[in-house]
Structure 1
Amino acid sequence: MRPTNDEAKTDLATWRPRLAAMAEGASGGDGAHDSAHLERVWRNAQTLLAQQPEADALVVMAACYLHDLVNLPKNDPDRAQASTRSAQLARHQLAWMNFPPERLDAVAHAIEAHSFSANMAGHCAAESLEAKIVQDADRLDGLGAVGLARMFYIAGRMGTSLAHPSDPLGSAREFDDRNYALDHIMVKLAKLPGMMQTEAGRALAEERLARLMAFREEFALESGMPPG
């Protein structure tokens, strides 16, 4: 039997600090995937849940907090396996903490399916509504002002240049985000709105992407390049 609204709110209030504590320290010092990121993803998810009241909010919340339990660097050859490992670890730890057993499969699926890298490798597609909400919520954190800050933070950790010195907008070359951070907007982030699984997520993603595209133009102008 599905819990009442009051019971669901109590479940969320009870489990939220326990989930946050479980996830603490999993970032390995990565400021782009730290506890603040998890809180933002959960806030994004709550916005999406308001449009999808039939979704299981406890499953969504657990997956939001635990989706990065195994956090591998962007350039790690096993990066596409991180979400699968996170799902396995989350299932084990949640079972040990007496999380509702009938929800474990749903949480594990939402965690495994959230990953952009895993999706690109064809490993796992989001099938449940909860998985779609978690995936959208996580991807929204890669867009807008926060997404921009995360993009350059990660680029700095990987030793990537800010932008191509003479063609920052990639007008006459192939985009290469392994060497130029600004290229990541076009290589990955510009694709996210079209990949969103929910209408609310798509609308928010389009708004946030517009800010990134405007930033690209401003960057080019300040670099002495004509706008695209």
Structure 2
Amino acid sequence: MTLARTAAAFAPLDTLAADLLPHVMDDAGDGSHDLSHLLRVWNNACRLQKEEGGDVRILLAAVLLHDCVRVEKNSPLRSQASALSAQRAREILRDLRWDEAAIEAVAHAVQAHSYSAQVTPQSVEAKIVQDADRLDAIGMIGVARCFYVAGRMGSALYEPLDPQAQARPLEDGRYALDHFPAKLLRLAEGFQTACGARLAGERQARMRDFLTGFLAEL
């Protein structure tokens, strides 16, 4: 796919997308953080922006650059990933001659998007980016991404003798099913915008339905 065709998916900000996409097109073979993820997060952000407001230029830059430094889920540097991406975003935008206020707005949104970083978003754009990214981690897309990442990391589907961790601690680094109570089922509680919280509730309900069916088959 050509850069122009890819950038067109972000119209009417396709010119800005064309400037930024070359910095994020190498996904290192991670299908959970690839172009399709960026498009979904952007679509989520656009839906939120219609209700919550915010500068779409800041939003697009933050969405495209929020994972511009790749850190694997099982890396000891995982909690620093968003800070590293924020710093890289500053460098990219300075090269494009953005003004410092806009650069810092994007960098804050990038750093605050991460669950593991535990940075509270202060701006409407940062709140939207955090919510847009977390919406992609729950619902049926979230289910698919969870099992994809588990397979990529070499994890098992579930612990065979105690799949619901009733008599053992959760180990979501070893079992995909453990990641639902350990993190995914908690995400809907922390949404920053009213629109995001509403959409999160709908997606969490679908995720719980999946888990009910999955456990019934065990």
TM-score when scaled to structure 2?
0.90
CA-CA distance at 1:170 after TM superposition: 2.8
Which one of 121, 129, 134 corresponds to residue 124 of structure 2?
A: 129
CA distance in 1, matches of 2:87, 2:198: 32
- Contact residue 169 and residue 216 of structure 1 kept, 8 A: no
Partner of 1:193: 188
- Contact residue 66 and residue 113 of structure 2 kept, 8 A: yes
Partner of 1:95: 94
Kindly provide the amino acid, as one letter, of the partner of residue 115 in structure 1: S
* Residue 216 to residue 10, structure 1, CA distance change in 2 (3 Å): closer
Aligned residue pairs total 209
**Gapped regions of structure 2 (runs ≥ 5):** 1-9
Partner of 1:4: none
Given the alignment of the two structures, is residue 219 of structure 1 paired with residue 214 of structure 2, yes or no?
Answer: yes
Matches within 5 A, 1:58-73: 58-73=57-72
CA distance in 2, matches of 1:19, 1:136: 21
Partner of 2:149: 154
Name the SS for the 1:182 alignment partner.
Answer: coil
* Residue 10 to residue 159, structure 1, CA distance change in 2 (3 Å): closer
Partner of 1:144: 139
1:49-96 CA distance string (max 9 Å, x none): 01012x111111100000001111111111111111111111111111
The CA RMSD measured in Å over matched residues stands at: 1.7
Moved over 4 A (4+): none
Percent of aligned pairs with the same amino acid: 46
Matches within 5 A, 1:9-158: 12-25=13-26, 27-53=27-53, 55-119=54-118, 124-158=119-153
CA distance in 2, matches of 1:215, 1:169: 14
CA-CA distance at 1:101 after TM superposition: 4.0
1:169-210 CA distance string (max 9 Å, x none): 233433221221011111101111111000111111111111
Kindly provide the amino acid, as one letter, of the partner of residue 136 in structure 1: D
CA distance in 1, matches of 2:211, 2:167: 16
CA-CA distance at 1:10 after TM superposition: 8.6
CA distance in 2, matches of 1:31, 1:177: 19
- Contact residue 65 and residue 89 of structure 2 kept, 8 A: yes
Q: Say which is worse superposed, 12-21 or 81-90, in terms of deviation.
A: 12-21
- Contact residue 163 and residue 180 of structure 1 kept, 8 A: yes
* Residue 74 to residue 190, structure 1, CA distance change in 2 (3 Å): same
CA distance in 2, matches of 1:85, 1:58: 21
1:21-42 CA distance string (max 9 Å, x none): 32111x2111111111111111
CA distance in 2, matches of 1:213, 1:172: 21
